[in-house]
Chains A and B, each alone.
Chain A
Amino acid sequence: MKKRTIVVGLCLALASGGVPLLAHHAFSAEFDANRPIHLKGRVTKMEWINPHAWIHLAVVAEDGTEVVWMIEGGTPNTLMRRGFTKDSLAPGTQIIVDGYQAKDGSHKGNGRDLTFPDGRKLFLGSSGTGAPTDGSDPTEPPRN
């Protein structure tokens, strides 16, 4: 397994070709590629903490019990620079998370896709600066 982790890391480094140097810890050491998650829930809070923001999400299981999941995000600095504020993701907002669960089986995950129930992406990364309302992309759907 260790060997696999190294291989994946190196592949990513090679795939990135001319990309400037390394960055970040290895997600594969924290999260399990064999445990994909698909969560639909209600935001209870967002922790604006370094080095990584965490979104807390209340998910109701089939038996009616509620489980709070924590979803890892990037540095809050980038969000702030892009105009995202504490009010941009209010508690109570329904979102859907697709990602991978923590290796230790706890209710933590990384969210590779975060979307609203109507299919809009929660964080638009590929459009303009990515700021929610930066207006650089006329096709960008309106926010809440």
Chain B
Amino acid sequence: MRSRLQGLSRAAAVALVACLAASAPVGAEGAARTTWGDPDLRGIWDFRTITPLERPSSLAGKEFLSDEEAAVFEEQTLERLDFDRRDGGSRFDVERAYNNFWWDWGDKLTDDKRTSLIVDPPDGRIPAMVPEAKDADRARRRSGGGPVRERVLIGSKAHGPEDLGLSERCLLGFNSGPPMLPSAYNNNLQLFQSPGYVVLLNEMIHAARVIPLDGRSHLDGRIRQWMGDSRGRWEGDTLVVDSTNFTDKTPSFSGVIGAMGSGETLHLIERFTRVSADTLLYEFTIDDPHTFTASWTAAIPMKKTDGPLFEYACHEGNYGMANLLSGARAQEEAAAQSKKP
């Protein structure tokens, strides 16, 4: 039943995006093809959107917004995202550097005006965590021990680099996944194809996955990688990328409140469907019964963009690392001084 619902939901998402994109059909014979006959998904794709991953509780039961409602939602969201705001005092102000010019969240909901990127389950929310996984997360955070699985770790003691988040350590971007998720900037993917391979290159942290399409099996289960091990195949005109072999140094999923579960048990399925000349529908399913009580799926329509991608050499000028560590030391020193009689 669950998988039937999921299938229906996925089909509905594809159909919806396809209908919305009908003004720019790819061609009567189906998707454009490469010279060697595969569906042509190549290009640079922009996945920024202000559609939230999870449906806000205030919109419970409402899957789509009308045009008028969407306009209001967009306006309110952009107001919240306005880093040029100066209300709330210095504690908020310090987090609002730099001004809006530097940020690139996007300013629109997805074309279908969905209230969440999550399309399954139907409530648009991440399913509850398995109690054991939740307890393990809590214990990990409470102990202050590793591994740090958060992409960004607010409130880290920062005794050393290993105590900081994965993106702060230039290991994984905060939006480049896998799976990819819209965020503050550099929401760009370049997709390359050659006979037998697909390459997914994210601008953020220039993370690249080279994915064979020849049906080979996954790596030995003892081999664990930061971005897992991805294998691709075609299902009709959809590219399906199946990834396993993630590590316990990454979470099963990173949400607003931090890392959820361990990557060790994550089975990630990503689907790429070119629903029009300028839209690549990206869907991902988190299948991890050790972390979540049900599998769940999000759909993000990516828009064709001219690019180019710019290089992102994360370690090149990562002053932030030194600043975060020296900031933590200064904080400790201040705390020690205040305790002195």
Contact = CB atoms under 8 A, between A and B. Distances in A.
B309 to A, nearest CB: 8
A140 interface: no
Contacts of A99: 97
A21 B319 CA distance: 24
A72 B98 contact: yes
B186 interface: yes
Interface residues on B, range: 35 or more
A28 B334 CA distance: 15
A116 interface: no
Contacts of B81: 16, 19
Contact of A103 (B100, B312, B327): B327
Interface stretch (B35-43, B153-161, B243-251, B273-281): B153-161
B326 A77 contact: no
Contacts, number: 230
Interface in A1-49: 1-6, 8-13, 15-34, 36, 47, 49
Contact of B186 (A26, A75, A100): A75
B95 A8 contact: yes
A32 B91 CA distance: 9
A78 B103 contact: yes
A105 to B, nearest CB: 7
A70 B319 CA distance: 10
A73 B98 contact: yes
A121 B101 CA distance: 10
A74 B326 contact: no
A122 to B, nearest CB: 8
Nearest to A108: B323
B101 A26 contact: no
Interface of B: 49-53, 56, 73, 76-77, 80-84, 90-105, 117, 151-152, 154-158, 164-165, 167-168, 170, 174-175, 181-186, 203, 254-257, 310-314, 316-320, 323-324, 326-331, 334-335
